[in-house]
Amino acid sequence: MANLTLNNKTLEKYFGLLKGLDNLSKKKLIIKLTESLDIKEEKVEIRTLFGAWEDDKDSDEIIKEIRESRIEKTENPGFE
């Protein structure tokens, strides 16, 4: 269903029609409108957003690989 936005003039026209309703009808209408506002938010478990590092290497091997993969900065004239 598409969303419809009403300007104040149109809202006042609707209110003019609805203000004559009896209290029970107004309450039912309020309930229906309130229920239509409820947006069901999908709950996300925070632990599903990330995970533990899985690798067979020990920490020393990983550190060694990181250090070996580093690129040394060189002096490039004109790029200061």
What is the pTM (predicted TM-score) of this model?
A: 0.42
| Rounded-to-integer distance, Cα 52 and Cα 29, Å | 50
- pLDDT tens per residue, range 16-49: 989 999 999 999 999 998 888 877 777 877 777 7
- Token pair of 31 as six digits: 């309930």
Please state the rounded mean pLDDT for residues 68-80.
Answer: 70
| Rounded-to-integer distance, Cα 16 and Cα 80, Å | 70
pLDDT of residue 23: 94
By the 8 A CB rule, do 15 and 8 touch?
Answer: no
By the 8 A CB rule, do 22 and 29 touch?
Answer: no
Residue 72: band (very low, low, confident or very high) from pLDDT cuts 50, 70, 90: confident
For residue 18, which amino acid is it? Answer: L
